[in-house]
């Protein structure tokens, strides 16, 4: 069997299961073995009733002393069973699972796995999984893969299918030279794949991860090298000169540009007036003032008679950029004619905008990914700016570039990465960095507190509002009913109105209609709303310098990198700003994790520490960075490996620049396969 064999050739996989696999985009043996576990479960030795720890997921064993039911309670038919161990008893409850009754015999020995809760003096386990001793023994003693499933497909089926595929497969030869693998301490591809599905222990997960992350990085770096080769040869199709308009604008601004902003702006001017096409990334932490630099570049473009486009990841942010630019145009009499293009606009409005873009009537187009839709035809697009690059993939950026005839590219990112890694990860871009925040900023004051701090927090917010400031409160849920242990925007807003009746309080969340969202955001920006209760929709880019308080409920539910981005919504003006992280989980580890935020403002350090505090099995499924969402590799956790891989590519290409040596033939073939796949994705 080879990798392209369809999954229905596997023994025991019929049409029905095949259809379910297809739903998960698994069509071939290759797809199946590349379907990695979401996480791993450890099955520890079963305990007796007297050794139960309340609140933990545990496997409990004992003799059944009674089986009762079903009794009807509301919508439920409940079966209860009792496990007895001396004087201690555990009640087991099953809901609407009538067939369970036949499986349980009084006097028999069983293993139940589930969470044990306490109600008064009763110990209860609800809807546990039931195991036979033999089945359980097989699971014990090594990490057991847990796969993401779809309704109708069980973990058992996936595990069985994966393992029979692994047995049947005829592996291709290893593509990397054995000596290189030895030096890098990396196992073969086939070994990594079999370990990731069948780890003997925690170490084997790490061994497998290392190889798979290496592959992720290797192909990505090879693609960047290719793009870089193409980029250097690109001529400047839109040579520009710096006109008096930008100089005058800078002079009239109410603030002085920081030295990072100045340096970046000079580099952009040189790029756009030089021989080659600009391909530049501006990296700067939240609040460092990237927008004004982008606007300067767009202004220079317009003054040279061309069009520029500014693409933002959300409508809220695109709309805000439009407002900012419109205000500046009025205030400073800039020769910019901006239009907004976002998905929620009416078809007739869009048509008019398309027309003005096509005729060249407008010279600045601001929008979301609507900008890259096929209907948009530009007249003379010379500059494409992507804001908050970390929210887009590399591919969307390229798609917009494809719209014009090799326009200049300027990318803005707040993804915190040290320079050594940025050079690798943005290998096809030139780098500018804005290291400092504007001089008038005061460092944000942080606190990590428990829920009993709320009354003080509300008092604090109301004092800030009395001083003319505004506040954000972030909840992780939109409305009740999703996860009732967590605060939700709608109920919280009502509660807060009761506590602070004099304040103007509103809410914002992603399920609202775009137009509604824009209105609320505008009202907040205009100062008509004192407190905005919101989900993380405000996380990216939003700039309301007058807001000075960021309060986050259930802070323990967020990744630290995300909390850092949220924190970036305050401290954007000259007023002292404050961040209040409320944790409803008081355990030591959680508080320690959140306190990292209070200790540093360095985004990279925050993201790395966050991962260090997680267990090794928790690496999967954690998406730290939207921009570099690799299958296994993580730029923070695997930063050392990323550098090693880059060095490996350097050496490889120094020795064999076109990979034409016989020993590299297989490697070359798989690199070409990767290029083709990524081009295919790009054209979707």
Which residues of this chain interact with ligand ADP, rule CB under 6 A? Answer: 255-258, 261, 284, 286-292, 438, 440, 543, 545, 572
From the list 640, 613, 643, 608, the residue with the least C-alpha distance to 625 is: 608
* CB nearer to ligand ADP: pick between 298 and 659: 298
Query: Minimum distance from CB of 522 to Mg ion (Å)?
Result: 17
Q: 95-115 burial, b if ≥16 CB within 10 A, otherwise e?
A: eeeeebeeebeeeeebbbbbe
Residue for token pair 């096509």? 358
* CB nearer to ligand ADP: pick between 21 and 472: 472
* CB nearer to ligand ADP: pick between 199 and 308: 308
Return the range that interacts with Mg ion (CB under 5 A); candidates 149-157, 162-170, 329-337, 537-545: 537-545
Query: CA–CA separation, 32 vs 277, rounded Å?
Result: 42
Q: Write out 220-272 in H/E/C secondary structure.
A: HHHHHHHHHHHHHCCECCCCCCCCHHHHHHHHHCCCCCCHHHHHHHHHHHHHH
**Which residues touch 211 (CB under 8 Å, ≥6 apart)?**
186, 187, 188, 189, 191, 192
Instruction: Work out the end-to-end distance of the chain between its first and last CA atoms, rounded to an integer number of angstroms.
Output: 31
* CB nearer to ligand ADP: pick between 427 and 438: 438
* CB nearer to ligand ADP: pick between 284 and 407: 284
Query: Minimum distance from CB of 324 to Mg ion (Å)?
Result: 10
Query: Minimum distance from CB of 250 to ligand ADP (Å)?
Result: 10
Strand ranges (E), 96-188:
109-119, 122-126, 129-131, 144-146
Q: Identify whether the C-beta of residue 120 lies closer than 8 Å to the C-beta of residue 27.
A: no
Tell me which of ligand ADP, Mg ion, none is bound by residue 37, counting a contact when its beta carbon lies within the kind-specific cut-off of 5 to 8 angstroms. none
Residue for token pair 């798609």? 399
Query: Minimum distance from CB of 424 to Mg ion (Å)?
Result: 24
* CB nearer to Mg ion: pick between 288 and 554: 288
3-state secondary structure of 475: coil
Q: Decide: is 289 part of the binding site for Mg ion (CB under 5 A).
A: no
Query: Minimum distance from CB of 370 to ligand ADP (Å)?
Result: 21
Tell me which of Mg ion, ligand ADP, none is bound by residue 547, counting a contact when its beta carbon lies within the kind-specific cut-off of 5 to 8 angstroms. none
- Give phi and psi for 21, each to the nearest 5: -60, -40
589's tokens: 């580890």
Burial of residue 86 (number of CB atoms within 10 Å: 0-12, 13-18, 19+): exposed
Return the range that interacts with Mg ion (CB under 5 A); candidates 218-226, 235-243, 341-349, 538-546: 538-546
Sign of CA dihedral 6, 7, 12, 18: negative
* CB nearer to ligand ADP: pick between 33 and 570: 570
- What would the x/- binding string for Mg ion be over residues 448 to 487, using CB under 5 A? ----------------------------------------
Query: Minimum distance from CB of 243 to ligand ADP (Å)?
Result: 21
Residue nearest to ligand ADP (CB): 289
* CB nearer to ligand ADP: pick between 287 and 427: 287
Query: CA–CA separation, 430 vs 144, rounded Å?
Result: 44
| Interface residue with Mg ion, options 541, 568, 573, 603 (CB under 5 A) | 541
Query: Minimum distance from CB of 389 to ligand ADP (Å)?
Result: 11
Return the range that interacts with Mg ion (CB under 5 A); candidates 164-172, 534-542, 597-605, 647-655: 534-542
Query: Minimum distance from CB of 286 to ligand ADP (Å)?
Result: 4
Query: Minimum distance from CB of 62 to Mg ion (Å)?
Result: 59
The helix (run of H) or strand (run of E) holding residue 399 is helix 394-403
Question: Which long-range CB contacts under 8 A does 179-183 form with residues at least 24 apart?
Answer: 180/648, 180/652
* CB nearer to ligand ADP: pick between 291 and 547: 291
Residues 373-402 interacting with Mg ion (rule: CB under 5 A): none
Return the range that interacts with Mg ion (CB under 5 A); candidates 518-526, 536-544, 629-637, 650-658: 536-544
Where do contacts with Mg ion occur on this chain (CB under 5 A)?
541
């Amino acid at each position: 069997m080879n990798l392209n064999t369809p999954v229905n050739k596997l023994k025991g996989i019929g049409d029905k299961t095949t259809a379910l696999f297809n739903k998960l985009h698994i069509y071939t043996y290759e797809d199946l073995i590349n379907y990695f576990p979401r996480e791993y479960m450890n099955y520890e030795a079963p305990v007796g009733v007297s050794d139960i720890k309340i609140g933990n997921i545990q496997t409990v064993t004992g003799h059944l002393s009674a089986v009762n039911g079903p009794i009807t309670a509301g919508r439920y038919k409940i079966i209860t069973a009792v496990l007895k161990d001396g004087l201690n008893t555990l009640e087991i409850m099953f809901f609407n699972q009538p067939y369970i009754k036949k499986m349980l015999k009084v006097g028999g020995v069983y293993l139940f796995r589930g969470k044990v809760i306490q109600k008064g003096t009763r110990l209860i386990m609800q809807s546990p999984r039931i195991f036979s001793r033999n089945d359980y023994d097989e699971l014990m003693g090594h990490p057991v893969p847990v796969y993401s499933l779809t309704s109708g497909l069980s973990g058992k089926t996936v595990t069985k299918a994966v393992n029979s595929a692994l047995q049947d497969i005829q592996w291709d030869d290893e593509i990397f030279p054995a000596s290189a693998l030895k030096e890098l301490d990396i196992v073969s591809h086939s070994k990594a794949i079999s370990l990731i599905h069948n780890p003997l222990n925690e170490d084997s997960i790490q061994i497998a991860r290392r190889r798979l992350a290496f592959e992720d990085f290797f192909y990505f770096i090879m693609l960047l090298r290719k793009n870089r080769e193409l980029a250097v040869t690109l001529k400047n199709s839109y040579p520009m000169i710096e006109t008096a308009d930008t100089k005058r604008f800078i002079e009239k601004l109410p603030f002085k540009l920081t030295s990072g902003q100045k340096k970046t702006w000079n580099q952009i001017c040189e790029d756009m007036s030089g021989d080659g096409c600009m391909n530049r990334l501006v990296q700067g932490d939240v609040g460092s003032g990237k927008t004004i630099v982008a606007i300067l570049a767009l202004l220079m473009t317009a003054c040279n008679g061309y069009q520029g486009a500014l693409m933002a990841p959300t409508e809220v942010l695109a709309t805000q950029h439009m407002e900012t630019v419109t205000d500046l145009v009025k205030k400073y009499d800039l020769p910019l004619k901006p239009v907004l293009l976002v998905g929620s606009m009416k078809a007739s409005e869009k048509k008019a905008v398309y027309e003005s873009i096509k005729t060249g009537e407008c010279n600045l187009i601001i929008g979301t990914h609507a900008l890259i839709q096929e209907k948009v035809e530009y007249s003379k697009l010379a500059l494409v700016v992507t804001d908050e690059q970390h929210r887009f993939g590399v591919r969307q950026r390229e798609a917009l570039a494809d719209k014009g005839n090799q326009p200049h590219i300027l990318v803005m990112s707040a993804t915190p990465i040290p320079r050594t890694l940025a050079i690798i990860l943005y290998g096809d871009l030139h780098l500018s960095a804005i290291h400092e925040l504007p001089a008038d900023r005061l460092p944000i004051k942080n606190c990590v507190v428990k829920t009993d701090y709320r009354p003080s927090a509300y008092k604090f917010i109301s004092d800030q509002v009395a001083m003319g400031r505004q506040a954000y409160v972030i909840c992780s849920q939109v409305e009740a009913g999703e996860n009732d242990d967590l605060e939700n925007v709608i109920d919280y807003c009502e509660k807060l109105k009761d506590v602070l009746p004099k304040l103007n309080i509103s809410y914002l969340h992603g399920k609202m209609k775009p137009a509604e969202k824009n209105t609320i955001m505008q009202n907040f920006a205009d100062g008509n709303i004192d407190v905005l209760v919101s989900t993380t929709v405000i996380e990216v880019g939003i700039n309301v310098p007058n807001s000075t308080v960021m309060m986050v409920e259930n802070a323990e539910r967020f990744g630290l990198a995300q909390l850092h981005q949220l924190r970036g919504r305050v401290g954007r003006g000259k007023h002292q700003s404050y961040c209040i992280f409320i944790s409803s989980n008081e355990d030591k580890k959680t508080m320690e994790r959140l306190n990292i935020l209070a200790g540093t403002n360095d985004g990279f350090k925050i993201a790395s520490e966050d991962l260090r505090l997680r267990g090794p099995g928790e690496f999967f499924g954690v998406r730290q960075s939207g921009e570099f969402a690799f299958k296994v590799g993580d730029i923070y956790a695997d930063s050392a490996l990323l550098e090693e891989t880059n060095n490996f590519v350097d050496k490889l290409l120094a020795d064999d620049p076109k990979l034409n040596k016989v020993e590299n033939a297989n490697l070359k073939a798989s690199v070409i396969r990767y290029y083709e796949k990524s081009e295919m994705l790009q054209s979707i």
